[in-house]
Structure 1
Amino acid sequence: MNPRILAATVGRVLRQLRHDRRTVALLVVVPALLLTLLYYMYGDQPATGGQPALFDRVALIMLGVFPFVIMFLVTSIAMLRERTSGTLERLLTTPLGRLDLLFGYGIAFGLAAAVQATVASAVAYWLFDLSTAGSPALVIAIAVLDALLGVALGLLCSAFARTEFQAVQFMPVVVIPQLLLCGLFVARDEMAGWLEAVSNVLPLSYAVSALTEVGAYPEPTATLWRDLTVVAGAVVAALVLAAATLRRRSG
């Protein structure tokens, strides 16, 4: 990768985002609205058996899940538009490399994710009194990493879609199974053996585990660092694979 070209790519993507008000609203406003909905669903549920309040448990996990889902959707469609409009084909005739392009997207949307995670966390902690044993700053960092995971998988899946509708169709294949098996609905160690084995290779499982660790312990644990390493590795691997499979056009 060329640092100058990478920086130029990041700037171009950020300028595109700035002028797309609907996408900005989706990235920043929608997670806060969904957290508001969760608060009115679970805010009155008391803590039982020494466990955190239900809202605290659900909202903490959703602070990581919402960025993952939203960024997957936004980036898969954004990259597909680059191909269908012919922009990608023109860009790749310049010194711009595929890794410059993909990592530029990752960094740009990572910066957007930092804003998204900060706003959503501010709403959760200071408006709805979310309580966690660990630091809110660590929750924000994990949320940004989860968003980057969504970006990387979205860019990878966009290489196999020819239309925006096909890009959206990857959500039931890539996103929903991870949501079902990440431990959000059933603890992973309580699943059938083969389901737990599948869960163990899905990166979102480790993202949820990391957030759970922050919710339970005031200081970072060895399990937390392991989980973050796995998620970060999945992000890099997905971006490299996306660069290897990137096509200039959708036709």
Structure 2
Amino acid sequence: MNANAYAATSVRILKQLKADHRTVAMIVAVPALLMTLLYFIYQNAPTMPGQQSLFDRVGISMLGILPFIVMFLITAIAMQRERTSGTLERLMTTPVSKLDLLGGYGTAFSIAAGIQALFACAVSFGLLGLESAGGVALVILVAMVDAVLGVALGLLASAFARTEFQAVQFMPLIVAPQIFLCGLLVPRGQLPDWLEWISNLMPLSYAVDALNEVSTQTGATGLMWRDLAVVAGFAVVALCLAAATLRRRTP
């Protein structure tokens, strides 16, 4: 990678994000607002003695799922906008490599994803009373890695889209099945064998598993680190595939 090209791309995208106040507001505020809505939904739900409240059980998973969804959507649309405006095509005529470009995009959006995860966790634990046996720091770590996964998959999806509308259409194809099969609705062990096998191939499943491990264990465990490594590995592979499929000309 060319360090100068990589850094210049990262700085340019960060400046663009900073100037787009609506996008910044969506990145930072939406997951926190949805967590607040979830809190009030479960506010009067009964809790069995000695068990977690429904908000604690569902909320801990949503801290990984919501940043993943928002960052996937924003990254895919923003990247496609770069194509339709001709910015990406002009950059591709220079000696800058595809990996430099996507690495810069990925880094810039990952920084935004980290801020998003920090704010959502701060609101959830500080204001809404979410509790986790493993501590806040581990939840924030998993949420940040999951948000970065959303960035990487958003970049990959944008490589196959020709318009911003097509980029949005990838959301039900890539994101929705992962939400259904990640263990949020039904524990993965209770799924039919063929669905559990598919679930094992989806990165969001491992993110939810890692958060559930943090929620019930008092410290970092080997299973948590394994699941987190799988999520990070998926993000790296998605970024490399996005670089490999990046077109030099916009059709």
Give your verdict on TM over 0.5: yes
Does the 8 A contact of 1:83 with 1:248 survive in 2? no
Aligned counterpart, 2:29: 29
Aligned counterpart, 1:94: 94
Write the mapping of 1:77-92 to structure 2, written as runs, cut at 5 A: 77-92=77-92
Greater Cα shift, 37-46 or 60-69: 37-46
Unmatched 5+ stretches in structure 1: none
- For residue 45 of structure 1, report the CA deviation from its aligned partner: 2.0
Identity within the alignment, %: 61
In 1: Cα distance, 2:154 partner to 2:249 partner: 17
Aligned counterpart, 1:73: 73
Aligned counterpart, 1:243: 243
Q: Does 1:147 align with 2:147?
A: yes
Greater Cα shift, 1-10 or 163-172: 1-10
Greater Cα shift, 143-152 or 37-46: 37-46
Greater Cα shift, 58-67 or 90-99: 90-99
Q: TM-score w.r.t. structure 2 length?
A: 0.97
Q: Deviations over 1:13-61 (max 9, x none)?
A: 1001001111111100111111110011012223225321000111111
Q: Secondary structure at the match of 2:160?
A: coil
In 1: Cα distance, 2:51 partner to 2:179 partner: 22
Unmatched 5+ stretches in structure 2: none
Q: Secondary structure at the match of 1:171?
A: helix
Q: Does 1:124 align with 2:114?
A: no
- For residue 95 of structure 1, report the CA deviation from its aligned partner: 2.9
Q: Does 1:157 align with 2:171?
A: no
What count of residue pairs does the alignment treat as equivalent?
A: 251
In 2: Cα distance, 1:128 partner to 1:94 partner: 49
Does the 8 A contact of 2:89 with 2:250 survive in 1? no
Q: Secondary structure at the match of 1:159?
A: helix
Does the 8 A contact of 2:80 with 2:161 survive in 1? yes
Aligned counterpart, 1:53: 53
Q: TM-score w.r.t. structure 1 length?
A: 0.97
- For residue 3 of structure 1, report the CA deviation from its aligned partner: 1.8
Q: Does 1:217 align with 2:217?
A: yes
In 1: Cα distance, 2:155 partner to 2:232 partner: 16
In 2: Cα distance, 1:166 partner to 1:241 partner: 19
Q: CA RMSD, aligned part only?
A: 1.1
Aligned counterpart, 1:192: 192
